A and B are shown apart, each in its own frame.
Chain A
Amino acid sequence: MNVPEDLQYTRTHEWVRIEGDTATIGITDHAQSELGDIVYVELPTPGRALAQDEGFTTVESVKTVSDVYAPAACEVVEANPALGAQAELLNTDPYGEGWLVKVRFTGDPPALLSADEYKSSLG
């Protein structure tokens, strides 16, 4: 299972890349592997304010429908425009082309796991 060292993670299988005052969020390789072939992603509109643990994106695969959660209070700055036509990018490149949103944290910074901590949480 691919867990890049330079990213941070949540227990609910999101990855977070913090750059200055914005952060990019996606789902992990483990998450996409568990979901199976992803067919549809419903993204939030930029400007939407999210509370901590709020579901902000719905990912639909051939197996199930699952929510993606905000790691901390934040505002959506940008949603990945490529996913509308190519939801499968979440399967093929979860840490790259398959990113979901860029956000700006509006409250306390999120409490995140390191790559090692996330790996051990997968058991």
Chain B
Amino acid sequence: MTTKAVPTPQPIFEKSRPGRIGCNMPKCDTPEVDLTFLGPLRETVEWPEIAELDLLRHFTNLSHLNYGIETGFYPLGSCTMKYNPKVNERAAIFPGFANIHPMQPERSVPGAIETIAQVQDILSELTGFPSLSMQPVAGAHGEMTCLMMIKAYNSARGEAARTVVLVPDSAHGTNPASAARCGYTVRTVPTDSQGNTDLAALRDAMGDDVAALMLTNPSTLGLFEPNIEEVCRLAHDAGAQVFCDGANMNAMVGMTRPADHGFDCMHLNLHKTFSTPHGGGGPGCGAIGVKPHLAPFLPSPVLMRKEGKAIVDHDRPLSIGRVSGYFGQFLMAVRALTYLLAYGRDGLPQISRHAVLNANYVQARLAGVLPAAYDRPCMHECVLTAAEYKKAGVRALDLSKRLIDHGFHPPTNYFPLIVPEAIMIEPTETEAKETLDAFCDALIAVCEEAVQDPGALTAAPTTQVVGRLDEAAAVKVLDIAWKSNRTAASV
């Protein structure tokens, strides 16, 4: 292992030299207009003055510091950082898709409408929900849209007094946030000793004030909820709706359908399960699917089939209204359709089979150094605990930081919150056994080092352009702008 740190890149502003230029601008051949009546916008403009080649090298070298799925293994639990095949991008830049305008009359874009309808058809078949909307542009947006629909549904049937949403203690933080954003009070449901929803506690928490239960299945512990039908029945008996957080759909594609488990509605992350771009804040797609009783409340307009033909239905008197412009991120639908058709109906279950196999392989290989939080087979991700290294003064975070020195992106740490020193690994289906082995070997070596030389871990990473960052200071003193008067010592 190399221990040499990468030198800190010089900011482009410090490469600036007065008068140096990247290109010669032609002489102005239009009349000059005096804009001084606007007043000075700013005293000076400190743009770097730099030659084209130096500029090119600067940004190319910075790009080499990136770590992504195309440079290495990315086992970030709960994020499904799978490989997005390039053919998806090829389809998305077809001029017929890329060059249409969202304001074009619907009759001029039947291909785009049919494309969205085909994605909806397949997602409907995979989830069991007959009605869908592609409008939500993120997973949390999809969650919130489903809760808004549940609220509208309850109001329409005279059950507006249902003001509580139940959320398990293992849930993604977006669940209680979405519920609070919709004006609901959140009531927490504990997890039992096996990692499942505590049925007795759920029974106690249910009542005629409960609007909905939000449940992630498989749970954020990477475990399939074996009592899922009983959980849904308890909710329905109390008059509550059950929302499925589809963040973990990658474990179930073509294998089992949330609508069949008893859920009333769900969201899907196309940018996770269905292989559309993911990082950098999007654009995402948090498509939602609902059962018939919720369909009247779908965001308007609704793209649906009528006698087999894809149509856009604007006549939705009970709709909660639009939740985004047009049909959300259209090119996400193009990419997802490409991905789905490339696998084909018979190939799709392979996604989940391999995702689950890979996660169990990693869980089994690491069992000697990092035991699973719950000793049972996992689904598409495994949640391990590093609690035993605490006596050596080593935390899960230190193990993860040391993994960076071995060339791997760290797994998720400290989530779910109910697992002490959690390390959450989601390998996804697109990794070969050799890659999984190299990762496991590295993590085993790091765990051995934690016992023999804990200081090496708490000092890690030492091979990167920056060392251990002060996360608390980064939150409190946000300082990301270059300032010309800053001295080298204060940088």
- List chain A positions with a Cβ less than 8 A from chain B: 36-40, 61-65, 87-88
Contact = CB atoms under 8 A, between A and B. Distances in A.
Contacts of B107: none
Interface string B383-423: 00000000000000100000000000000011001000000
20 contacts: A36-B397, A37-B471, A37-B472, A38-B472, A39-B472, A39-B475, A39-B476, A40-B475, A40-B476, A61-B472, A62-B471, A62-B472, A62-B475, A63-B413, A63-B414, A64-B414, A64-B417, A65-B173, A87-B476, A88-B472
A108 to B, nearest CB: 24
A61 B475 CA distance: 10
Contacts of B413: 63
Nearest to B395: A36
Contacts of B414: 63-64
A81 B397 CA distance: 31
Nearest to A87: B476
Contacts of A62: 471-472, 475
Interface of B: 173, 397, 413-414, 417, 471-472, 475-476
B397 to A, nearest CB: 8
Contacts of A63: 413-414
Nearest to B475: A39
Given A63-B413, A87-B476, 12 more contacts: A37-B472, A38-B472, A39-B475, A40-B475, A40-B476, A61-B472, A62-B471, A62-B472, A63-B414, A64-B414, A64-B417, A65-B173
B385 to A, nearest CB: 13
Nearest to B422: A63
A87 B472 CA distance: 10
A101 B109 CA distance: 62
Contacts of B471: 37, 62
A66 to B, nearest CB: 9
A61 B417 CA distance: 13
B193 to A, nearest CB: 15
A53 to B, nearest CB: 13
A62 B476 CA distance: 10
A120 B217 CA distance: 35
A63 B471 CA distance: 10
A42 to B, nearest CB: 14
A81 B240 CA distance: 43
A87 B475 CA distance: 12
B401 to A, nearest CB: 13
A62 B472 CA distance: 6
Contacts of B397: 36
Contacts of B417: 64
Give 10 closest A-B pairs by Cβ, nearest first. Answer: A37-B472, A62-B471, A39-B475, A63-B414, A39-B472, A39-B476, A62-B472, A64-B417, A37-B471, A64-B414
A103 to B, nearest CB: 24
